[in-house]
Amino acid sequence: MMDVAELSRLWRVARADFWISVAAILGVLSAGVLSGVIIGVILSLGWLVYINSTPKMPVLGRQTGTQVFHSVEEYPDSETYPGMLVMRFDAGLFFASADALEDCLRELVQDAETRYHTVVLSFERDRSGCTPPVAVRCSPLSVQTVC
Task: Please give the torsion angle defined by the CA atoms of residues 34, 35, 41 and 43, in that order, rounded to the nearest 10 degrees.
Answer: -170
Angle, CA of 72, 75 and 76, to the nearest 5°: 70
Within a 10 A sphere around the Cβ of 74, how many other Cβ atoms? 10
Tell me the per-residue pLDDT of 55-72, one tens digit each, with 9 for 90 and over.
888 888 888 888 888 888
Query: Is residue 14 over pLDDT 80?
Result: yes
Tell me the per-residue pLDDT of 88-100, one tens digit each, with 9 for 90 and over.
888 777 777 888 8
Query: Is residue 51 over pLDDT 50?
Result: yes
| pLDDT: which is higher, 98 or 22 | 22
Distance from C-alpha of 84 to C-alpha of 135, rounded to nearest angstrom: 10
Tell me the per-residue pLDDT of 79-89, one tens digit each, with 9 for 90 and over.
888 888 888 88
User: What pairing do the DSSP bridges indicate for beta strands 60-62 and 134-138?
Assistant: unpaired
